[in-house]
Structure 1
Amino acid sequence: MGFQKPSHTFTKIHRKGLRTKSLHILFALSFTVLINTFGFAQELPKKSTNIPAQKIKDSTKVSVDSILNQPLNTKEIDSIKQDSIKKDEFLEDIVKYTAKDYVSINQRKQKIYLYNQAKVTYQDMEITAGVIEIDYNTNTVYAGRLKDSTGYSQRPVFTQGSNVIEPDSIIFNTDTKKALVYNSRTEQQGFYVKSPVTKKENDSVYFMKNGKFTTSENEEDPEYQFITSKMKLVPNKKVIVGPTIMEIYGVPTPIGLPFAFFPMTKKQTSGIIFPSFGEDTGNDRGYFLQNGGYYFAISDYVDLAVLGDYYTNGSYGLRIESNYAKRYGFRGNVSFRYENLLNSERGFPDFAQNTIYNIRWSHSQDPKANPNSRFSASVNLGSSQFFQQSINQVNQANFLNNTLASSVSYSKTFQGEPQINLNLTATHSQNTNTQAINLTLPTLQASMTRVFPFAPKNGAKKGAIQNINFQVNTRGEYRISTTDSLFGKSEMFDDALAGMQHSIPVTTNFKVFNHFSVSASANLQETWTLNTIRRFYDQVNDEVVTIDQSGFDRFFTYNASASVGTTLYGLFNFEKEGKDPKIQAIRHVIRPSLSYSITPAFDQYYETFEIIDADGTTSEEYTRFENSIFGRPSDRFASNIGIGIGNNIEAKVRPKDSTSTESKKIFLLNNLNLATSYNVAADSLNWSPLNINGGTQILNKKMNINFGMSLNPYALDSNNNIVNTFNINNGGSLFRLTSANLNISYSLSNDSFSGREDQEDDIDQEQAALANGRVDGLFGKTEDFADRRLSDDDKDKKREDDNSEFYNYKIPWNLRLAYAVNYTNTRRQDQISSQSLMFSGDIELSPRWSVGVSSGYDFLNNGFTFTQLRFERDLLSWRMNFTWVPIGDRTSWNFFIGIKSSLLKDLKYDQRRQPDLRLGN
């Protein structure tokens, strides 16, 4: 090993003589002298002769306030040296200050001391504190706490505009508007910030050192907070922080960020939406990024969000949403979802690809916008399997619903006498099981208000003649029936039907014997159609051939009807002298009615053709209007007599409250209706089945009961076909029960037994309602991961017992039950066609811990229906929930924990297992 010489490591400095160039120095000095001699400031006036200042003694006496110091002798400055621009005074406004105990002024130190509940106001700035010191010599204000035997109190509160800071002490300069704040506490849109030292740079910028911020309302002991070395706060605009770590109850966590930016603006701003991370193990799609994209704040009236999903196996999804609103005009939202789903990997035997989409549009118009016209829309259409196969939401209430429906309508009223109403509607109905789609594009309806040609000019209308009225109605439709696979293609229009129907109903009503109401009507109706048929027998192929024809055709029909009805009241009084029974009276209201209708036979629209076969020649009858969109004319004369009876039974009971003076009315039967008819013109089976339906509410209107049945008076033969023989004459009863149904729903909670009204359930079912699903929770709660918004609603739900030091023995709970059974005996089946019980309930085991379940049991198939278990924990500023579907082909689970505040909603953990959709295919 060799050592390097020191001479090798240091730079050699050689001596060199320094020489001075005198010519250069002389030139620089002369240039400087010339500049000082001939250079003038822009503000100075032109060269003039100096005028010596003269001392002028002012004879006016000025009284000096005792608060101010005595004026000092000042030396006047030459006017040439004075700036022509006048400087602003120190105070631009009046300083107001008050204190409860005393206000002390020290003229020697030029300070003002305020003690106990001190307050200083200057322009838009206000300071309240226990102690305030004003130094009007240095233009500073000091505010601090008040110290007593118990500690510190009356912490300063610094308010400037809409910004509020609560420090331990503050030093504020009224001239520069700068301040030093110690141990400050401020709140910005639910964002609580604490800092040991804060520098207020100006009216809108704060710099903080070693700050802490959180969304917890418990400032003294927050359940979580973020600690940062430096922070910049621009109120109502933004917060920028440096290196940051997260603490949970004072314990540091490895969660940290090198920097962060939090927009605080109250206006809509565009920005990036961070995606969620996870893995889909249920369908072998691999890892994914979901709901990432960009939000466009287009204007105050409309916005746009573009989100996407991507899976490592190639699956992807796209979602576009827009909300729009105009005050006193309209509001609505549009959503489009598209998903290209790949199960497993390409090349594997279980690989499958499916493309689904869904379009939603909701639009409502403010009634104040235009009283004579209205536009509304409620659209929900797309792939029939969208809610069953979508991977971006848990559609408990949606995928169990097998119907999608849409409606877009525009109505216009033309004022006048008579008034004309115009309505244009496009509808859509889709069965997700059969994938059948029915569209009307569009339906046109026009009507004229009723006209009374014989009504008197003044006074009420009396009698049958004066009450005669008529109106004109027109309805046109273009109807399409197609399937999910043909929707959007040209083939969907192949079987479209179009037509128009005009009707003129003429009615009148009058009283008979002062107790009977009589109404009579006649209806004239003409139908136009563009779809007819021609039918004939092909002898060569020995078959009946039907040919669809396109072209205009029409048929005219009419009918007449009349009805008479009255109302009977029966009162059963149980009150007796000296007795006060619980049931004081029962009232029975009966509304009988008798009607008659006649419909002629329109044989002129029917044709016959001959069929020649081995058995001979036979004739077949048909009408060319069989494919008419509004049906075909009747070829049978009908003369029906209808009988109907409506019943209503209610009771008057003694109130439970002894101080109440009025009795309570309860319904025993809300309605009980019986209806049948007799066809005089029929040659057999003149009586129609007797239909009975009714409903009531019991248990303080918590239980709804609805029932119905159909009774047929005719018997069946040995082949279970109905014959023209009364069932009682065939050895049976008077009526034969052919069908029956019973529906019972029951809703109760812990408030049901406390005498208070039940509070509405806290169930966010907006997505279920938009998708035509159930909103009562019997199918479970719907969770949309893309639209999840966890709002802090708990502060609006504080119960009276929360602040009690004693144990709260009231456990909030709710329960919803629904029982349905259907009976069928049309052809001696004598069987229960369906019978099920559904239930859903939630219970709060503690003020912030709740569990719930939604399930049901099918008694016909002896199995449980869709079941969902729910567990939720309110962690104050956080929320945690877990949903689990344990059985069935939709077995899945979802776990979520995240911050409620919208400012930090991206701080969350979401893990779930998607259902294996291959099991349901």
Structure 2
Amino acid sequence: MAFQKPSHTFTKIHLKALHTNNFKILFALSFTVFINTLSFAQDIPKKGKVIDRSIKDSLIIETDSISFPELSKKQQDSTLTDSIPPEKDLLEHIVKYHATDYSRFSQKKQKLYLYNEAKIDYGDMNITAGDITIDYIKNTVYAKGITDSIEGYTQKPVFTQGSNIVEPDSIIFNTETQKALIYNSKTEQGEGTVIAQITKKENDSVYFLKNAKYTTAENLDDPEYYIKLRKAKIVPGKKIVTGLANLFIYDVPTPLGLPFGFFPQSEKQTSGVIIPTFGEQNDRGYFLQNGGYYFAISDYIDLAVLGDYYTNGSYGTRLESTYSKRYRFRGNVGFRYENLITSERGFPDYARSTIYNLRWSHSQDSKASPSSRFSASVNLGSSTYYRSSVNQINSGAFLNNTLSSSVSYSKTFQGEPQVNYSVTATHSQNTNTETINMTLPTFQGSVGRMYPFASKTGSKKGIIQNINLQYNIRGENRIQTTDSLFFKKEMFEDAKAGFQHTIPLSTNFKVFKYFSLSASTNFNEVWTFKTINRSFDPIEREAVTEDVNGFDSYRTYNFSTSLGTTIYGMFNFEKEGTDNKIKAIRHVIRPSISYNINPAFDKYYDSYEVVSADGLTTTDVEYSRFEQGVFGTPNKNFSSSMGISVSNNLEAKVRDRDSTATEPKKIILLNNLNFSTSYNFAGDSLQWSPVRMSGGTQLFKNKMSVNFGATLDPYALDNNNKKIDKFNINNGGSLFRLTSANLTTSWSLASKKGDKKDDKKDSSIQENLRSGGRDDDLFGVSEDFANQQIRGGEDKEQTPSELYNYKIPWSLRIAYAVNYSNSRRQNEISSHSLMFSGDIELSEKWSFGASSGYDLKNAGFTYTQLRFERDLLSWRMNFSWVPFSTRSSWNFFIGIKSSILKDLKYEKRRQPDITL
């Protein structure tokens, strides 16, 4: 585009003489003067009326369609950019301020004064105080409280920058250098609080302190303890580094101190040293226990490596790891190993042994995979581990006599029919006999129930439509061994493997409207890879069993049917015009009769001859080549039996104590009072089996559970106390002979306040469960005070009453068990015991717990544990005592609750003298 010359745009005008009108010119001049004097370009809006700026002018000036292109920065004149930088503003950020009483600015002093509930926001810095002064010349902010004649010094400053909060008496802050002087400040650092006389803020990440106190106490005006920091440096959220520091208890100095100190302040878990516990044991000398190092590997997994050492040469090590991934899985794994030495080398009582224990617990979140699941619960090791271990953490599990493990994976394939399979490895170990039974692994598969004759729509009716079948397969590799051969070559030599296939076929239908009839048949096929061949050795005079390797199988089947119904009875006690406490009693009876046929499969049995010593007579002894198989032997004898059972439920409706309730309250009188027996039609004698009775109930608002059982035999005994084929009533006795009986009760009582959940106790009970123990504290709990984590919220303070009516929280658990035996006229109580445990809070700070029991048959106390705990505000004190038995011991502990200072502790033990 080219610019035209200005001369091209002018038009030539020819000059011509003009005629003037004087009157009109004078009138126009006067009118112009009058308008310019008394008029405005726009109307002046009325006072108080707000102009709506959102209304746009209706006259829109259109721009020229010819636009000029913008010049790039390179084409612009360099002189447009000044080489001298502009002068920096007085304040780098916008200052936002507020005050209740007044905000006053001194133009002469260039200061802004804020008074009463003053607040300033400057960048990421926030200050609230009673009195704030901003000096624009020195770029400083001075904040302090307000002195009141009644309330004293109030509205102390609160300085916040980022995540750091400081509560001083006064503060001076430089907005240009970001430095500050803070007087008498209180700031939280991690789990503790730093109280300093003078704090110098160097920058956002460094503070220097003088004459400071570090404490985790709640009462900061009068802390029960603190660590005096003469000079210190704080990097918020990371660390506190200090010079000479020592412990003060209620402002009294103690000799516990260090020339320098380091306090990590990370909000995430960090690695660090675990201080051990020291003590003395009579036969092993002095020791250090549970010391080591904690590795914070990642947010998902950690590892603690702990060790024990005794001056006689004994030692132990322990690895503990916890892992977790949200919505996927969580678990923990631990391995413990101890090398124990008794006495000294050269002495006759010198002994040395090694024990170990492996524990693993894994659980999968239900959201991780809806069709598959993996879980693990492992507890295996030396049978004598819990009895021989000298580590205090195992004290609550030494009564365990069984260790068990299970690791399983299961998968479901949705569809019609549904298909499932699972692979499981199990382990069961008897710590008394030291026998170990394992399945490595067990495979189970099944095809869901199928109804081949049912219609695709609607409900199934009749005998034909209810016919259904399934398919199940189970494979096992079973190993039986002992402690001495565990995971050695010999352990796998006697392994037994096999498969079992079952196809159950069943149906059910109604008979005479009120009876339910079911019939089923079951086909069973067993595969095995090892059988036996048995013969008699006339020289050694004993049977010889020879293993035969190779595939073999057998097939069995059976038939069963059952008929049952439900009878309801109601006994009404209500009468018109009366309000009885018991409204009604409901009795539910479920009788059932069944019939079973098990054919004889004697074709799978062989025999061998046993020759007498004189060689004159022989005897045939039958055996099955499948005797040592995983799934047993096929049935040898034909069985045709009938089973009879009756179950009873008794419930009552009673008047509710709550007057506002509109319905009666339902309570259980008897829960499942069952009677069962059977009659074998194919038997030649003793055709009736004993009558078995069992039942249970709940009493006292379900606080007390009662379960009982008995066995009643209809047959008599001869003079040698052997059962004979003669009814007891025909032998001069009663209709039935009581051969055994049992009664167990458990009762849990607690006050309203004593029934609350105790996280510390729960962690000890969880330790018992992981070790294979009970899910209660009747046998005591593990006492590992040094590594005990304090979880849960703090108890709320109680408001004192005008009258002294302090309710002591308490809880009590009682378990009673008695067993009676009379199968051979012994007429004795085989076992009779009473166990109890309880906790009581003598005051808000004192608590006492005990676990004990009494053997009523042998007249002696069972394992007894007494527990005392004292809450010392920021500290805790524990004392555990086993007063008698071979494991007589005690343990005293005092330490700080906070996890960051939990190594500041004292622990003294007297361990039991355990003999190997």
1:60-107 CA distances to partner (integer Å, 9 max, x unpaired)?
xxxxxxxxxxxxxxxxxxx9xx97556653434322111111111111
User: What letter corresponds to residue 736 of structure 2 in structure 1?
Assistant: F
Give the whole-Å Cα distance in 2 for the aligned partners of 1:453 and 1:700.
49
Provide the residue aligned with 1:791 in structure 2: 790
Give the whole-Å Cα distance in 2 for the aligned partners of 1:90 and 1:471.
87
Note if contact 2:709-2:741 (Cα within 8 Å) is conserved in structure 1: yes
User: What letter corresponds to residue 874 of structure 2 in structure 1?
Assistant: S
Pairs within 5 Å for 1:208-287: 208-281=209-282, 284-287=283-286
Provide the residue aligned with 2:159 in structure 1: 158
Note if contact 1:392-1:784 (Cα within 8 Å) is conserved in structure 2: no
Give the whole-Å Cα distance in 2 for the aligned partners of 1:708 and 1:339.
44
Provide the residue aligned with 2:137 in structure 1: 137
Report how far residue 396 of structure 1 moved: 4.2
Report how far residue 189 of structure 1 moved: 2.5
Identity of aligned residues (%): 65
Q: 1:352 to 1:242 in 2, by over 3 A?
A: same
Provide the residue aligned with 1:73 in structure 2: none
Provide the residue aligned with 1:910 in structure 2: 907
Provide the residue aligned with 1:859 in structure 2: 856
Q: 1:619 to 1:792 in 2, by over 3 A?
A: closer
Provide the residue aligned with 2:424 in structure 1: 425
Give the whole-Å Cα distance in 1 for the aligned partners of 2:594 and 2:832.
37
1:381-432 CA distances to partner (integer Å, 9 max, x unpaired)?
1111111121222434311111111100011112332221110000011111
Provide the residue aligned with 1:629 in structure 2: 630
Q: How many residues are aligned here? A: 832
Report how far residue 868 of structure 1 moved: 0.9
Q: 1:682 to 1:757 in 2, by over 3 A?
A: farther
SS of the aligned residue for 1:491 comes to helix
Provide the residue aligned with 1:744 in structure 2: 745
Give the whole-Å Cα distance in 2 for the aligned partners of 1:338 and 1:785.
21
Task: Choose from 843, 850, 853 the match for 1:846.
Answer: 843
Provide the residue aligned with 1:120 in structure 2: 120
User: What letter corresponds to residue 772 of structure 1 in structure 2?
Assistant: G
Note if contact 2:390-2:914 (Cα within 8 Å) is conserved in structure 1: no
Give the whole-Å Cα distance in 1 for the aligned partners of 2:321 and 2:869.
31
Note if contact 2:248-2:254 (Cα within 8 Å) is conserved in structure 1: yes
SS of the aligned residue for 2:812 comes to strand
Provide the residue aligned with 2:524 in structure 1: 525
The answer as to 2:822 corresponding to 1:812 is: no
Report how far residue 531 of structure 1 moved: 2.5
Q: 1:534 to 1:158 in 2, by over 3 A?
A: same
Report how far residue 489 of structure 1 moved: 1.1
Provide the residue aligned with 1:100 in structure 2: 100
SS of the aligned residue for 2:485 comes to coil
Provide the residue aligned with 1:91 in structure 2: 91
Give the whole-Å Cα distance in 2 for the aligned partners of 1:540 and 1:390.
49
Q: 1:323 to 1:84 in 2, by over 3 A?
A: farther
Give the whole-Å Cα distance in 2 for the aligned partners of 1:760 and 1:851.
16
Report how far residue 202 of structure 1 moved: 0.9
User: What letter corresponds to residue 139 of structure 2 in structure 1?
Assistant: N
1:22-74 CA distances to partner (integer Å, 9 max, x unpaired)?
xxxxxxxxxxxxxxxxxxxxxxxxxxxxxxxxxxxxxxxxxxxxxxxxxxxxx
Give the whole-Å Cα distance in 2 for the aligned partners of 1:593 and 1:322.
53
Give the whole-Å Cα distance in 2 for the aligned partners of 1:682 and 1:337.
55
SS of the aligned residue for 2:450 comes to coil
SS of the aligned residue for 1:889 comes to coil
Report how far residue 494 of structure 1 moved: 2.6
SS of the aligned residue for 2:490 comes to helix
Bigger mean CA deviation after superposition, 86-95 or 456-465: 86-95
Note if contact 1:197-1:209 (Cα within 8 Å) is conserved in structure 2: yes
Provide the residue aligned with 1:577 in structure 2: 576
The answer as to 2:590 corresponding to 1:599 is: no
Q: 1:431 to 1:784 in 2, by over 3 A?
A: farther
Pairs within 5 Å for 1:361-372: 361-372=360-371
Give the whole-Å Cα distance in 1 for the aligned partners of 2:409 and 2:697.
37
Provide the residue aligned with 2:560 in structure 1: 561
Note if contact 2:673-2:695 (Cα within 8 Å) is conserved in structure 1: yes
Q: 1:175 to 1:639 in 2, by over 3 A?
A: same
Q: 1:456 to 1:841 in 2, by over 3 A?
A: same
Note if contact 1:216-1:223 (Cα within 8 Å) is conserved in structure 2: yes
Provide the residue aligned with 1:34 in structure 2: none
TM-score (structure 1 length as normaliser): 0.88
Report how far residue 772 of structure 1 moved: 1.6
Provide the residue aligned with 1:386 in structure 2: 385
Note if contact 2:783-2:880 (Cα within 8 Å) is conserved in structure 1: no
Bigger mean CA deviation after superposition, 903-912 or 766-775: 766-775
Give the whole-Å Cα distance in 1 for the aligned partners of 2:232 and 2:506.
79
Pairs within 5 Å for 1:181-220: 181-220=182-221
The answer as to 2:670 corresponding to 1:672 is: no
SS of the aligned residue for 1:607 comes to strand
Give the whole-Å Cα distance in 2 for the aligned partners of 1:796 and 1:570.
53
SS of the aligned residue for 1:629 comes to coil
User: What letter corresponds to residue 797 of structure 1 in structure 2?
Assistant: D
Give the whole-Å Cα distance in 2 for the aligned partners of 1:785 and 1:878.
12
Give the whole-Å Cα distance in 1 for the aligned partners of 2:338 and 2:539.
53
Note if contact 2:139-2:175 (Cα within 8 Å) is conserved in structure 1: yes
Report how far residue 199 of structure 1 moved: 0.7
Provide the residue aligned with 2:513 in structure 1: 514
SS of the aligned residue for 2:498 comes to strand
Provide the residue aligned with 1:74 in structure 2: none
User: What letter corresponds to residue 726 of structure 2 in structure 1?
Assistant: T
Q: 1:324 to 1:212 in 2, by over 3 A?
A: same
Q: 1:133 to 1:110 in 2, by over 3 A?
A: same
Report how far residue 447 of structure 1 moved: 0.6
Provide the residue aligned with 2:16 in structure 1: none
Provide the residue aligned with 2:412 in structure 1: 413
Give the whole-Å Cα distance in 2 for the aligned partners of 1:546 and 1:87.
106
Note if contact 2:529-2:550 (Cα within 8 Å) is conserved in structure 1: yes
User: What letter corresponds to residue 636 of structure 2 in structure 1?
Assistant: D
Provide the residue aligned with 1:11 in structure 2: none
Report how far residue 512 of structure 1 moved: 1.7
Pairs within 5 Å for 1:290-689: 290-613=289-612, 614=614, 616-689=617-690
Note if contact 2:560-2:594 (Cα within 8 Å) is conserved in structure 1: yes
What is the Cα-based RMSD across aligned positions, in Å?
1.8
Note if contact 1:393-1:785 (Cα within 8 Å) is conserved in structure 2: no
SS of the aligned residue for 2:203 comes to coil
Q: 1:437 to 1:87 in 2, by over 3 A?
A: farther
User: What letter corresponds to residue 296 of structure 1 in structure 2?
Assistant: F
Report how far residue 510 of structure 1 moved: 1.4
Report how far residue 557 of structure 1 moved: 0.4
User: What letter corresponds to residue 299 of structure 1 in structure 2?
Assistant: S
Pairs within 5 Å for 1:41-52: none
Provide the residue aligned with 2:729 in structure 1: 728
Give the whole-Å Cα distance in 2 for the aligned partners of 1:269 and 1:590.
63
Note if contact 2:247-2:255 (Cα within 8 Å) is conserved in structure 1: yes
Give the whole-Å Cα distance in 1 for the aligned partners of 2:531 and 2:538.
23
Provide the residue aligned with 2:288 in structure 1: 289
Pairs within 5 Å for 1:750-899: 750-751=751-752, 758-761=755-758, 763=761, 764=763, 765-784=765-784, 788-791=787-790, 793=792, 795-798=793-796, 801-802=798-799, 804=801, 807-899=804-896
Note if contact 2:754-2:809 (Cα within 8 Å) is conserved in structure 1: no
Report how far residue 662 of structure 1 moved: 2.1
User: What letter corresponds to residue 505 of structure 2 in structure 1?
Assistant: V
Note if contact 1:397-1:775 (Cα within 8 Å) is conserved in structure 2: no
User: What letter corresponds to residue 569 of structure 1 in structure 2?
Assistant: Y
User: What letter corresponds to residue 739 of structure 2 in structure 1?
Assistant: T
Provide the residue aligned with 2:694 in structure 1: 693
Note if contact 1:641-1:679 (Cα within 8 Å) is conserved in structure 2: yes
1:556-613 CA distances to partner (integer Å, 9 max, x unpaired)?
0001111111111111111111111111111111111111111100011011222232
User: What letter corresponds to residue 101 of structure 1 in structure 2?
Assistant: D
Q: 1:865 to 1:641 in 2, by over 3 A?
A: same
Bigger mean CA deviation after superposition, 338-347 or 581-590: 338-347
